Amino acid sequence: MSKYFRTAYQFGALGGILSGISFYVLSLFNADPSNLNLVFGYLTTPFAVYLAIRFFKDYANGGFLSFAEGMSIGAVTYLLVALLSTLLIWGILLQSPALFEGVQTAKWEVLAQNKAVIIEQVGLESFELTKLNLKGMSPWDIALNDGIWKILPGLFFSILISVILRKNKS
């Protein structure tokens, strides 16, 4: 079983750690690093999935890869990226209440600036619910959102990469 997941663990850990580091570095330059970190995740997650599947195919499986193997390795990779990213960002936000307050303030400003558009598109009730949810937001909410947005592109790219790299034994 470790043959299948060794590369997934390595590249999943690398992607998750890079995501945590990017959140910290972006927080030095921006009051709300959460949005920019999502963009960074859209680049690193597919890259980590690709590398994990490619390394498994080339170095652990003799140049062969079934769709199921690719999907399994991809899933472990992007789930590990998401888990580590979530935990690291949560830890950073817990250690820095000022950073969390800056993120929350930036989100309040975006909500206030776009009030008319939001009310026009989804209605006053949804706007008020968003305000209420933003008021009750915690560091865990920001971290979990980041992790979820690592899973979605990870799943998509796992399917795509598994199909492209698939090479069955004859």
The secondary structure of 103-158 as a DSSP string is HHHHHHHHHHHTHHHHHHHH-HHHHHHHHHHHHT--HHHHHHHHHHHHHHHHHHHH
Q: How confident is the model at residue 169 (pLDDT cuts 50, 70, 90)?
A: confident
User: What is the per-residue pLDDT for 170?
Assistant: 58
Q: What tokens does 69 get?
A: 């193997």
Parent domain of 155: 2-95+142-165
Residue 118 lies in a domain: no
First to last CA, the chain: 23
Distance between CA 36 and CA 23 in Å, rounded? 8
- pLDDT tens readout for residues 30-52: 989 999 999 999 999 999 999 99
pTM of the model: 0.91
Residue 126 lies in a domain: no
Residue 12 lies in a domain: yes
User: What is the per-residue pLDDT for 5?
Assistant: 87
Residue 170 lies in a domain: no
- pLDDT tens readout for residues 60-116: 988 999 999 999 999 999 999 999 999 999 999 999 999 999 999 999 999 999 889
- pLDDT tens readout for residues 97-107: 999 999 999 99
- The total number of structural domains in the chain stands at 1
- pLDDT tens readout for residues 112-164: 998 899 889 998 898 899 899 999 999 999 999 999 999 999 999 999 999 99
Can you say whether the dihedral through the CA atoms of 153, 156, 158, 164 is positive or negative? negative
HEC profile for 21-46? Answer: HHHHHHHHHCCCHHHHHHHHHHHHHH
Residue 105 lies in a domain: no
The torsion angles phi and psi of 167, rounded to 5 degrees, stand at -150, 105
Q: What tokens does 149 get?
A: 């947005």
Residue 10 lies in a domain: yes
Residue 110 lies in a domain: no
Residue 57 lies in a domain: yes
